[in-house]
A and B are shown apart, each in its own frame.
Chain A
């Protein structure tokens, strides 16, 4: 016989109470792991959208003041070709970097011949964009947003002059529901009579739009664009204004060879802040005046940082509540058990068992009960997660156009973190209650009646 076997036997004594405690630990653990898994899934979704599909990069390098000033005064706050080259070289020299890409952001007016609508355009390099679309995280959590609603992805339409992707909201405003591949051979309708009933059909018949903007030099510029795809942006706010085109097309519109920023994509997102710091230091040491931001900076990713801040607070709040309920359950159970067995404690003490040896008996029982609860909770988590994931439940997260699948994604780290929280707390509570009781005078313990 050893003390662990004694603990197992004692756990069988009051089965109903111990079963209730086991259930509390099981449900609490499963609830926390599932909620943590849900938060982890949302975090990956938001991060993937922010970093890849909104082209922010894990780290973004702007000309000094570029984040705030590039749209209003692009000539002053953009990276010229020499600066671009130095940033790309610095990024390529860092083994933590997977790749880097140049981006241009600009505003202007998009027209269909009868109506003009403001747009915000992002100019991307096709090759890095192709890498982004093939990235496992993008395929795993954001495939719906990476895949165009209609037409071909931009990197696959390199043969089309002035190829643009248009967000579905903007396409609706411009009455441009068709893409290049669907209207191939249809002649572009020039200047339809906007007052006639047929104008709408004429506008919708082709995939041509006109983009107009003020160049970096301050002149007016316009180019023809050909819609090669319609897509959903990962943010509802940008659905009615977003255009995605090649960097070359946008540079042609703004008559510049500058870019707004360089996006740097890492192997490990957890190193974004460190890489940003190192890049900033290296570039500034070389005399380049740049601002470097990790994606966790609220100035470049306000939606991601705000949403994660909220979810983090929610996790702490719910986690505290659930943990408190579980620990109070354990406390209640242990207190009753210890007080019921006071004479037994006295007997052990009279037989020469030391205080800590007696308290350790109760601690072993709590550890065994907690471990059993954690194992049951882990199994329950798997069952619930599998059931929910197979049910293909869809929901619309705040600020996201369209819906996404509710995926519960319990991570090993979440399993371990919650277990490492609950087990020591349950043990600590048990130790405290048992220690307090065994500190009593042995003579009193031996004559005590059950509390």
Chain B
């Protein structure tokens, strides 16, 4: 069963007087535990597709279903809750809050969840920080961390709510090659050990070579979905 399904999703942006189609009827399914890369040229619609999957944008036509629920039928508060509990985000430029230290940045998604007791919140934050191997940097502010460390903080922040899906928009774009390797290892490790579903856009060949499924998008259309073919083949065998 798919965790997220997009049915013929279309999205057009207006740039001044010009209408720019970003997605032209995208149909896609993401399954639990998948490690999926989204590849495509700049302007091909990768970010728009990630935004649709992450419920931070709405399609002009078609439907986005998360756990078989049409997101269009959810209120803004319900969508916020869905994102908070089921989806984690990792951004290309980390998007850490500069006045908060590592612990506090990771804690942010839990602060609005009243159902998690304080002690449990504390444990979960520390565990997420340990998972990304930043236990020695708990009280460091983001500007005292390297790019790779910042991205690991972002990953810990995405992980801390134990989401079913983590979306990452070019997570290694701002990192050097060695750091990229460590981030990929970390994401793959989390995918294997904690069965977290990853769906991320990338141009990184090194990253693409290590994923099970690659979805290719061009001009707002999915032009290839290799993992689906492979998994279908494996299922048939």
Which residues of chain B have C-beta atoms less than 8 A from A3's C-beta? Answer: 111
A56 to B104, CA, bound (A): 68
| Interface status of A210 (Cβ within 8 A of chain B) | no
A353 to B107, CA, bound (A): 13
Instruction: Give the residue of A347, A353, A355 whose beta carbon is less than 8 angstroms from that of B95.
Output: A347
A413 to B168, CA, bound (A): 56
Given A443-B57, A446-B56, A9 and B99 touching (CB < 8 A)?
A: yes
Instruction: Give the residue of A2, A6, A352, A443 whose beta carbon is less than 8 angstroms from that of B83.
Output: A352
Q: Name the distance in Å between B122's Cβ and chain A's nearest Cβ.
A: 11
Q: Which candidate, B26-34, B84-92, B225-233, is the interface stretch facing chain A?
A: B84-92
- Cβ-defined contact, B57 with A441, below 8 A: yes
Given A442-B57, A443-B56, A352 and B84 touching (CB < 8 A)?
A: yes
| Interface status of B212 (Cβ within 8 A of chain A) | no
| Interface status of B97 (Cβ within 8 A of chain A) | yes
Instruction: Give the residue of B95, B108, B157, B161 whose beta carbon is less than 8 angstroms from that of A343.
Output: B95
| Interface status of A285 (Cβ within 8 A of chain B) | no
Which residues of chain A have C-beta atoms less than 8 A from B48's C-beta? Answer: 443
Instruction: Give the residue of A10, A349, A350 whose beta carbon is less than 8 angstroms from that of B99.
Output: A10
- Cβ-defined contact, B100 with A350, below 8 A: no
| Interface status of B109 (Cβ within 8 A of chain A) | yes
| Interface status of A1 (Cβ within 8 A of chain B) | yes
Which residues of chain B have C-beta atoms less than 8 A from A291's C-beta? Answer: none
- Cβ-defined contact, A357 with B56, below 8 A: no
Q: Which candidate, B35-43, B74-82, B179-187, B196-204, is the interface stretch facing chain A?
A: B74-82
Instruction: Give the residue of A344, A346, A352, A447 whose beta carbon is less than 8 angstroms from that of B97.
Output: A344
Which residues of chain A have C-beta atoms less than 8 A from B82's C-beta? Answer: 352
- Cβ-defined contact, A351 with B84, below 8 A: yes
| Interface status of A172 (Cβ within 8 A of chain B) | no
- Cβ-defined contact, A6 with B76, below 8 A: no
- Cβ-defined contact, A1 with B95, below 8 A: no
- Cβ-defined contact, A347 with B91, below 8 A: yes
Instruction: Give the residue of A346, A352, A441, A442 whose beta carbon is less than 8 angstroms from that of B81.
Output: A352
- Cβ-defined contact, B112 with A353, below 8 A: yes
Given A2-B111, A350-B56, A353-B80, A446 and B99 touching (CB < 8 A)?
A: no
- Which residues 326-361 of A sit at the B interface, judged by CB distance below 8 A? 343-344, 346-355, 357
Closest 10 CB pairs of A and B: A352-B84, A9-B99, A442-B56, A443-B57, A347-B95, A443-B51, A352-B83, A1-B104, A351-B109, A350-B89
Q: Name the distance in Å between A319's Cβ and chain B's nearest Cβ.
A: 36
| Interface status of A184 (Cβ within 8 A of chain B) | no
Quick one: which of A1, A347, A350, A446 has the most chain B CB within 10 A? A350
Q: Name the distance in Å between A347's Cβ and chain B's nearest Cβ.
A: 4
| Interface status of B45 (Cβ within 8 A of chain A) | no
Chain B interface (Cβ within 8 Å of chain A)? 47-48, 51, 54, 56-58, 76-77, 80-85, 89, 91, 95, 97-100, 103-104, 107-109, 111-112, 157, 161
A178 to B85, CA, bound (A): 94
- Cβ-defined contact, B112 with A357, below 8 A: yes
| Interface status of A394 (Cβ within 8 A of chain B) | no
Instruction: Give the residue of A9, A346, A441 whose beta carbon is less than 8 angstroms from that of B100.
Output: A9
Given A347-B91, A446-B56, A352 and B109 touching (CB < 8 A)?
A: yes
- Cβ-defined contact, A13 with B99, below 8 A: yes
A347 to B95, CA, bound (A): 7
A347 to B80, CA, bound (A): 12
A439 to B109, CA, bound (A): 19
- Cβ-defined contact, A349 with B109, below 8 A: no
- Which residues 1-59 of A sit at the B interface, judged by CB distance below 8 A? 1-3, 6, 9-10, 12-13
- Cβ-defined contact, A349 with B80, below 8 A: yes
Q: Residue-by-residue, is A410-428 near B (CB-CB < 8 Å gives 1, otherwise 0)?
A: 0000000000000000000
Given A1-B100, A347-B91, A443-B57, A354 and B51 touching (CB < 8 A)?
A: no
Contacts A346-B56, A354-B112 supplied; 12 other A-B pairs, CB < 8 Å: A1-B100, A1-B107, A2-B111, A10-B99, A344-B97, A347-B89, A347-B97, A350-B95, A354-B80, A355-B80, A443-B47, A447-B47
A341 to B102, CA, bound (A): 19
| Chain A count of residues within 8 A CB distance of the other chain | 26
Q: Name the distance in Å between B43's Cβ and chain A's nearest Cβ.
A: 13
- Cβ-defined contact, A351 with B100, below 8 A: no
Q: Name the distance in Å between A15's Cβ and chain B's nearest Cβ.
A: 12
Which residues of chain A have C-beta atoms less than 8 A from B84's C-beta? Answer: 351-353
Q: Name the distance in Å between B78's Cβ and chain A's nearest Cβ.
A: 10
Given A12-B99, A347-B91, A352 and B111 touching (CB < 8 A)?
A: no
A12 to B99, CA, bound (A): 9
21 residue pairs of the A-B complex, CB under 8 angstroms, read A1-B104, A2-B111, A3-B111, A6-B104, A9-B99, A10-B99, A13-B99, A344-B97, A347-B97, A350-B56, A350-B95, A351-B83, A351-B108, A351-B109, A352-B81, A352-B82, A352-B84, A352-B112, A353-B112, A354-B77, A441-B57
Which residues of chain A have C-beta atoms less than 8 A from B51's C-beta? Answer: 442-443
Specify the chain A residue showing the minimal Cβ separation from B58.
A441
Instruction: Give the residue of B76, B108, B109, B161 whose beta carbon is less than 8 angstroms from that of A355.
Output: B76
Q: Name the distance in Å between B28's Cβ and chain A's nearest Cβ.
A: 18
Given A9-B100, A10-B99, A446-B91, A350 and B112 touching (CB < 8 A)?
A: no
Which residues of chain B have C-beta atoms less than 8 A from A447's C-beta? Answer: 47
Specify the chain A residue showing the minimal Cβ separation from B96.
A347
Q: Name the distance in Å between B181's Cβ and chain A's nearest Cβ.
A: 26
Quick one: which of A347, A353, A447 has the most chain B CB within 10 A? A347
Specify the chain B residue showing the minimal Cβ separation from A12.
B99
A2 to B95, CA, bound (A): 19
Which residues of chain B have C-beta atoms less than 8 A from A9's C-beta? Answer: 99-100
Specify the chain A residue showing the minimal Cβ separation from B81.
A352
Given A350-B89, A351-B89, A6 and B99 touching (CB < 8 A)?
A: yes
A352 to B98, CA, bound (A): 19
A9 to B104, CA, bound (A): 12
Specify the chain B residue showing the minimal Cβ separation from A356.
B77
Q: Name the distance in Å between A439's Cβ and chain B's nearest Cβ.
A: 9
- Cβ-defined contact, A6 with B100, below 8 A: yes
Specify the chain B residue showing the minimal Cβ separation from A9.
B99
- Which residues 431-449 of A sit at the B interface, judged by CB distance below 8 A? 441-443, 446-447
Which residues of chain B have C-beta atoms less than 8 A from A354's C-beta? Answer: 76-77, 80, 112
